[in-house]
Amino acid sequence: MNRRRFLAASCGGCAGLVPGFGFGQSDWSAPARFARPEAASDEGGLWAMMDREESRLRRSPFTLRDAQFTAYIQDIACRLGGEHCPDIRVHVMRTPFFNASMAPNGMMQVWTGLLLRVENEAQLAAVLGHEIGHYMGRHSLDSLREARSRSAAAQVMGLFGLVGLVGQLGIAASMMSYSRENEREADRIGLLLMHKAGYATDEAAKVWRDLQLELKERPDGGARNPLFATHPAPEDRQQELATLAATFQGGGTNAAEWQKRVQPFLRDWLVEEVKRGQHEETIALLTRLARDIPSRPEYLVARGETYRLRGAREDLDKAIADYTMAVAVEGVPAEAYRGLGMIQRLRDQPAEARTNLLRYLELAPQAPDAAMIKSYVEELKS
Amino acid sequence: MKPILAAGLALLALVCSASAFAQSKNLAPGFQSLPKGAKVAIMPTDIELFVISAGGVVEPKADWTEAASKHFKDALNRKEQALGFTPIELSAKQAEEADDINALHGAISRAIAMHHFGPLKLPTKDGKLDWSMGDSVQPIKQATGADYALFSFVRDSYASGERKAAMVAIAILTLGRAALALGSQSGYASLVDLNTGRVVWFNQLQRATGDLREPESAAETLDALLSEFPLAK
Amino acid sequence: MRNLLIVVILAALSGCATVNKMESGSQNIGERMTLTLDGAWNHVALPGQGPAQTWTMEGLPVDVLLVYSGLKDGQAIHRATSSGQKSFNFRASMQPDEIVGLFEGFLTRDGSQFQMTKLEPANFGGEKGFRFEYALTRKVDGVTLSGMGYSTVSRGELFALVYQAPRLTFFSRHKERVEQIARSAQVKT
């Protein structure tokens, strides 16, 4: 706050460059590229630590190693970053939580849980743009300075560290590293960057709305949910985003391209999501995805698997319904047949069970559980 | 290994078995010393320095770690002459490629710390330093042509001024074991025979003194770590 | 890591953790299972640990063999957890894939990633059971472990052997001995 006033005072004609002062589309322009700070300074120490974390990240077994796909995400980040493009390095991490973060040295992490949840490029751009907004506004330094005398400093560092640090249970929303003010600024910059890159800004509010829908399924309303760790989404924030987005016109979502690019990874990401064991949230998520993208049977199958796993009264019927709907769509994953067969086996419907389990083995002869399923088929014969 | 865990293990060792350290052996059976002029691949030291704030929270200190890495490496370079072997440094790329092996070595070192130097001795090891990485170390041999590899690991934490004051009272309560609470240095150095994968020498460091932030004291830490090193004869 | 520290300190205060030698030959585990060992193993007994026995050859940070004998319906496969942490409880009605799911859940509590690579029917303890294989990427140090398990449910109780060790060199070192122990298992009906 004081810094802002100081800047305004010392820079007579550049009120428009200072965030928060009459923030209009034409007023704001991105800062120049950042130079590497002195090693002994606050920021220098932070930077060095980030460099070391980044080399660990690169070598981590949790990194998604697909050069083409990573390049695709990198390209989106790059177009958003404009002149800062050369400083942004994207790392896609395999973890089923919603998160993206950008460290002051330009290291950007995008978690596969986020990639599962967004429905098009514009929605991803909203989140990445927001992160770049934090980067351009140098917010991490603010947080570090403020937290310096408290143990929260370690958490600031932790937020940029290896995947899973944030994903660990028990990290409350209060450990957020950015102030409300900085969050607001990042939201605004994010929308501007989205718009400049040709994306429809009204997609941004949808991301938070959908996340909210998912999280309110929890008994605690999502208060202690890792999904909230870096991006709390109170109602008024969504409202602000929607209002601001309305001032921008035009832009696209590139939905078709997005779905084509993520399709090869969907099955793995869905398996990881179901494995989380947070059934209510997963069901809410998959219901939304199946409704919005009906051409992909993967979401229905995953929801069927979730019901089958939860196995409460009426869940098995719901699972059967999902699997049955899914097999009617082209490209259905083999798991749908396994799911049907396993439930029918439980319910003493041997003929139907055999048919479906055999179909599973036909479609997925190399599945890890093929031998087990085969033995069930043999049992059902007699 | 987190410093607090290392400290906890040391505490356990002290409490559980008075003779634990007296009987520790740093050498694998049948190994006495390095042959003269042996080629030793120097694996990058895994080093991290922490500050313990007044509230007792341990925070990593990047600039200290940067400085310490440099001091440690310099000290090691100077020491290699005295130790009588030919050091082979790994390029950044080679170090990255050896990452898997490094991580595996880390796990074995924790096992040696816990089960050879620590109180949870494994009867099947019969009190001997008998651990081998087998052929997993072959890539290092192939990349460097070395016969041995030297691994090292250091974790060091320092109490801030406020913390030191607070610890005086606690020193009394812990019956003099306050050393662990003030800040501690833990680490190990290990020599692996790249032909067999055997850990032929292992030294563990666990103490309350030492300061890696300054070049001279960093050299002293290195000396402590490499004390009893099986010098070539 | 934090939990391990607490356990270790408690062990120090209450009378130390011990490691017992499991000698070659017949070993009774619980009331209903016998294993015949060809070569000794180390049984690490930490106070408050359970319900499985924890065995190792190279040390806990490297390889672990969990031995379950007669785990009852409703019992967790691990030590009691602090409130808020999810518990993985065995149910006698569970199918093989669900039992593997229990181990998966337990082994990934710290953020590690688990991938089942094989599930097949197998005899265990003289009963009809199953065998599974898995890969585990350990969160704390990024080491990739290979694992395998044998299990059966007999009279509503769980019997199992689960062994894991680093994929590099170590898993293949002791794998055959674990297979032999599994083959030797006898469960009293």
Residue A74 C-alpha, separation from nearest chain B C-alpha, in angstroms: 23
**What's the whole-number mean pLDDT along residues B8-26?**
46
Tell whether B57 lies on the interface with C, counting CB pairs under 8 A.
Answer: no
> Quick one: pLDDT at residue A45?
63
pLDDT at residue A49 above 60? yes
pLDDT at residue A91 above 90? yes
**Where does the pLDDT of residue A7 fall: very low under 50, low under 70, confident under 90, or very high at 90 and above?**
very low
Q: What is the CATH number of the domain that holds A293?
A: 1.25.40.10
Which range (B50-59, B68-77, B199-208) has the least confidence? Answer: B50-59
Option in B59, B63, B66 nearest A153 (CB): B59
Same domain, A368 and A221: no
> Quick one: pLDDT at residue B14?
43
pLDDT at residue A13 above 70? no
- Distance in angstroms (rounded) separating the CA atoms of residues A313 and A133: 47
Of B216, B211, B187, B207, residue with least CA distance to B74: B216
> Quick one: pLDDT at residue B138?
96
Average pLDDT, chain B: 75
pLDDT at residue B176 above 70? no
> Quick one: pLDDT at residue A171?
31
Same domain, A371 and A236: no
Condensed to tens digits (0 to 9), the pLDDT of residues C61-73 reads 999 999 999 999 9
Of A80, A26, A243, residue with least CA distance to A15: A26
Residue C48 C-alpha, separation from nearest chain B C-alpha, in angstroms: 16
Same domain, A335 and A366: yes
Condensed to tens digits (0 to 9), the pLDDT of residues A131-180 reads 999 999 888 777 666 655 444 444 444 444 443 333 332 232 333 457 77
A346: containing domain: 265-381
Contacts of C85 in chain A (CB under 8 A): 169
A105-117 residues labelled b (16+ CB within 10 A) or e (exposed): bbbbbbbbbbbbb
Residues linked to residue B159 through DSSP beta bridges, in sequence order = B52
> Quick one: pLDDT at residue C103?
96
How many CB atoms lie under 10 A from the CB of residue A318?
Answer: 17
pLDDT above 70 coverage of chain B, percent = 69
> Quick one: pLDDT at residue B96?
82
Option in B57, B96, B99 nearest A154 (CB): B57
Condensed to tens digits (0 to 9), the pLDDT of residues A17-46 reads 333 333 455 567 889 888 887 766 666 666
Q: Are the Cβ atoms of A277 and C116 closer than 8 angstroms? A: no
**What's the whole-number mean pLDDT along residues B41-66?**
69
Residue B233 domain-assigned? no
- Distance in angstroms (rounded) separating the CA atoms of residues A70 and A67: 5
User: How many residue contacts between A and B have a Cβ separation below 8 Å?
Assistant: 34
Helix (H, G, I), strand (E, B) or coil at B14: helix
Of B231, B208, B230, B232, residue with least CA distance to B221: B208
Domain ranges of chain C: 18-187
pLDDT at residue B21 above 50? no
Condensed to tens digits (0 to 9), the pLDDT of residues A173-200 reads 333 457 778 888 899 999 999 999 999 9
Tell whether A291 lies on the interface with B, counting CB pairs under 8 A.
Answer: no
B71: containing domain: 3-225
Residue A168 domain-assigned? yes
Same domain, A145 and A207: yes
**Where does the pLDDT of residue B152 fall: very low under 50, low under 70, confident under 90, or very high at 90 and above?**
confident
* The A100-102 sheet, strands edge to edge: A89-93, A107-111, A100-102
Task: Please report all neighbours of A, defined by 3+ CB atom pairs within 8 A.
Answer: B, C
**Where does the pLDDT of residue B13 fall: very low under 50, low under 70, confident under 90, or very high at 90 and above?**
very low
Option in C8, C144, C169 nearest B9 (CB): C8
Condensed to tens digits (0 to 9), the pLDDT of residues A212-238 reads 888 888 766 655 554 444 455 566 777
pLDDT at residue C28 above 90? yes
Residue B86 domain-assigned? yes
**What's the whole-number mean pLDDT along residues A354-363?**
97
- Distance in angstroms (rounded) separating the CA atoms of residues C67 and C161: 5
> Quick one: pLDDT at residue A179?
76
Q: ipTM of the assembly?
A: 0.89
DSSP character at residue C79: S
Instruction: Please state at what angle helix A235-245 crosses helix A202-215, rounded to 10 degrees.
Output: 160
Same domain, A131 and A177: yes
**Which class for B165: exposed (0-12), middle (13-18), buried (19 or more C-beta within 10 A)?**
exposed
Tell whether A294 lies on the interface with C, counting CB pairs under 8 A.
Answer: no
Residue A18 domain-assigned? no
CATH of domain C18-187: 3.40.1000.10
**What's the whole-number mean pLDDT along residues B157-186?**
54
If one counts the domains in chain A, the total is 2
Same domain, A237 and A327: no
Tell whether B101 lies on the interface with C, counting CB pairs under 8 A.
Answer: yes
pLDDT at residue C104 above 60? yes
> Quick one: pLDDT at residue A144?
63
Helix (H, G, I), strand (E, B) or coil at A13: coil
Residue in the structure block whose two tokens are 């607490």: C6
Same domain, A293 and A336: yes
Residue in the structure block whose two tokens are 């030492």: B210
Q: Are the Cβ atoms of A369 and C119 closer than 8 angstroms? A: yes
Which range (B68-72, B167-171, C47-51, C128-132) has the least confidence? Answer: B167-171
Residue in the structure block whose two tokens are 């290291």: A107
Residue A272 C-alpha, separation from nearest chain C C-alpha, in angstroms: 9
Option in C5, C16, C56 nearest B5 (CB): C5
Condensed to tens digits (0 to 9), the pLDDT of residues A266-319 reads 999 999 999 888 899 999 999 999 999 999 999 999 999 999 999 888 999 999
Of A292, A363, A277, A304, residue with least CA distance to A116: A292
Residue B232 domain-assigned? no
How many CB atoms lie under 10 A from the CB of residue C35?
Answer: 22
> Residue A106: what are its φ and ψ, rounded to 5°?
95, 0
Same domain, A196 and A299: no
DSSP character at residue B160: -
